[in-house]
C-alpha cells in the first residue's frame, strides 16, 4: 500500500500501542515527502493502532494470569536492591525463592543481572547529569551533552562502550567472518556474500533504539553518513533500469535500421529486419546485463543505507519524544539536516 520505508516507520511507531504527536508528525512528514494521500495514511494509522492496542490488551490479560509468582519474586528483589547492592546471601535467598515458586533458575539469574545493570546505569546517569562536564581548557562546568565549550575546546566521548559502538562491533564481527567459498565467480560465493549483507541489515534493523540522550546523539552522528546512498542514478536498481530500458530500445532500433539498409540492396529487407531484431535484442541484453550486474556491491551497500536511514529515523523520533534541553534539541536538528543535505 505504501513504500517499505514509510510502512516500517509506521509499524515501529505503533509497536508500543501509543502514537505520540511527535511520532505522528514524523510519519505525516515522510508521507508528504513521498506524495501519499494524508487522509489515507491517517486511516491506515488508526486501524493499525486499534489492532495493536487490542493485541496488547489480550496479551496483558494472559500475562496477568501467569505473573503472580513473578510479582512475588519481584517484591523480594526490589527489597534486596533497596540499597543498590545485591549480596551473595541475598542472591542465594532470591534463587531459593524462585525454585520454590517453580521458576527456572537460569532465567531468574538473567533477570536479576539485568535489574542490577539497569540500577547501575540509572545511578550513573543521575550522577553524570548532576556533575556535568568540566572543560579542561578553561575549567568551566558545562552540561553533559555539550560537544564544544564556549572557549573552543571540543569534548570527546569518554565512555568505553556505547550502544552504537556495540552495533558496529556486531557488524564488524559479521564482516570479519572468513568466507567459506573464496572463488568470486561461483554461485556459492555469491550466495554467501548475499547472506552476509542480509545478516548485517537484519542486525541494524533489530538493534534496540538507545535510551539515553548521549547514546542518541552519538548514534545519530555515526549513522548519518551510513544512511546516505552513493552512485547517483546508478546506485539503485530503478535508476539503472531508467538507463537500461531506453538505451536497450534505441540499440534495437539502430541495429534493425542498419541491417535493413544492409539487406536492402539484395532485396531482402524482411530478412534484414529479422537479423536486426536478433542482433538488436542481443545488444539490448548486453546493456541490461551491464547496468544490472555492474557494481553489485554499490546496490547492496545502498540497500544497507536504507536500513540505516530507517534506524536513524527511529532514533530521531525517540530523541524528539524525550524532554531535552535546547542543546539536545539543537543537536537533533543538526543531524537531521545533515542527513537531508
pTM metric for this prediction:
0.43
Question: Do residues 20 and 315 lie in contact, with contact meaning Cβ atoms separated by under 8 Å?
Answer: no
Q: In this structure, are 212 and 309 located in the same domain? A: yes
Q: In this structure, are 307 and 199 located in the same domain? A: yes
Among 131, 154, 174, give the residue marking a domain's end. 131
Q: In this structure, are 105 and 44 located in the same domain? A: no
**How do strand 133-134 and strand 141-142 relate by DSSP bridges?**
antiparallel
* Count of the separate structural domains present in the chain: 3
Q: C-alpha grid cell for residue 242?
A: 531508467
Question: Do residues 216 and 223 lie in contact, with contact meaning Cβ atoms separated by under 8 Å?
Answer: no
Q: C-alpha grid cell for residue 78?
A: 526490589
pLDDT at 184: 72
Q: C-alpha grid cell for residue 86?
A: 545485591
pLDDT at 72: 77
Q: Between the CA atoms of 264, 270, 274 and 280, what dihedral angle is there, to the nearest 10 degrees?
A: 50
Q: In this structure, are 310 and 219 located in the same domain? A: yes
**100 within a domain of the structure (yes/no):** yes
**139 within a domain of the structure (yes/no):** no
pLDDT at 254: 81
pLDDT at 7: 82
Query: Which residues is 134 bridged to in the sheet?
Result: 141
pLDDT at 96: 83
Is residue 17 helix, strand or coil? coil
Question: Do residues 309 and 261 lie in contact, with contact meaning Cβ atoms separated by under 8 Å?
Answer: no
pLDDT under 70: residue ranges of the chain:
1, 57-69, 84, 120-139, 141-148, 153-162, 230-237, 239-240, 243, 265-267, 269, 287-296, 323-325, 341
Q: Which domain holds residue 233?
A: 195-341
Query: Can you tell me the distance from the alpha carbon of 328 to that of 333, in angstroms, rounded to the nearest whole number?
Result: 9
Among 131, 147, 172, give the residue marking a domain's end. 131
Q: In this structure, are 19 and 106 located in the same domain? A: no
Give the H/E segment covering residue 142: strand 141-142
**Residue 162 CB contacts under 8 Å (≥ 6 apart), including other chains:** 210, 214, 215, 218, 219
- Greatest CA separation found in the chain? 103
Amino acid at each position: 500500500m505504501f513504500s517499505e520505508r514509510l510502512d516500517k516507520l509506521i509499524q515501529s511507531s505503533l509497536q508500543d500501542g501509543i502514537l505520540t504527536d511527535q511520532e505522528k508528525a514524523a510519519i505525516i512528514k515522510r508521507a508528504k515527502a513521498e506524495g501519499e494521500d494524508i487522509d489515507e495514511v491517517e486511516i491506515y494509522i488508526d486501524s493499525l493502532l486499534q489492532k495493536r492496542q487490542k493485541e496488547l490488551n489480550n496479551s496483558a490479560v494472559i500475562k496477568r494470569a501467569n505473573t503472580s509468582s513473578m510479582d512475588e519474586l519481584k517484591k523480594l528483589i526490589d527489597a534486596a536492591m533497596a540499597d543498590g547492592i545485591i549480596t551473595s546471601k541475598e542472591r542465594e535467598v532470591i534463587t531459593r525463592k524462585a525454585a520454590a515458586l517453580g521458576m527456572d533458575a537460569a532465567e531468574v539469574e538473567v533477570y536479576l543481572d539485568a535489574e542490577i545493570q539497569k540500577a547501575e546505569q540509572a545511578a550513573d546517569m543521575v550522577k553524570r547529569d548532576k556533575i556535568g562536564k568540566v572543560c579542561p581548557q578553561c575549567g568551566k562546568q558545562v552540561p553533559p551533552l555539550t560537544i564544544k565549550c564556549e572557549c573552543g575546546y571540543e569534548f570527546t566521548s569518554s565512555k568505553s562502550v556505547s550502544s552504537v559502538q556495540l552495533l558496529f562491533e556486531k557488524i564488524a564481527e559479521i564482516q570479519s567472518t572468513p568466507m567459506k567459498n573464496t572463488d568470486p565467480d561461483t554461485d556459492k560465493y555469491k550466495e554467501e556474500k548475499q547472506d552476509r549483507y542480509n545478516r548485517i541489515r537484519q542486525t541494524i534493523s533489530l538493534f534496540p533504539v538507545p535510551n539515553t540522550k548521549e547514546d542518541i546523539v552519538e548514534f545519530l552522528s555515526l549513522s548519518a553518513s551510513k544512511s546516505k546512498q552513493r552512485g547517483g542514478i546508478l546506485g539503485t536498481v530503478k535508476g539503472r533500469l531508467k538507463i537500461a530500458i531506453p538505451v536497450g530500445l534505441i540499440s534495437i532500433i539502430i541495429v534493425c535500421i542498419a541491417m535493413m539498409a544492409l539487406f536492402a540492396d539484395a532485396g531482402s529487407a524482411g530478412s534484414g529486419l529479422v537479423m536486426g531484431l536478433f542482433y538488436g535484442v542481443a545488444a539490448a541484453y548486453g546493456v541490461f546485463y551491464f547496468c544490472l550486474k555492474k557494481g553489485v556491491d554499490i546496490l547492496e551497500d545502498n540497500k544497507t543505507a536504507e536500513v540505516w536511514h530507517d534506524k536513524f529515523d527511529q532514533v530521531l523520533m525517540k530523541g524528539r519524544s524525550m524532554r531535552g534541553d535546547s542543546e539536545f534539541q539543537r543537536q537533533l536538528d543538526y543531524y537531521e539536516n545533515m542527513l537531508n543535505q
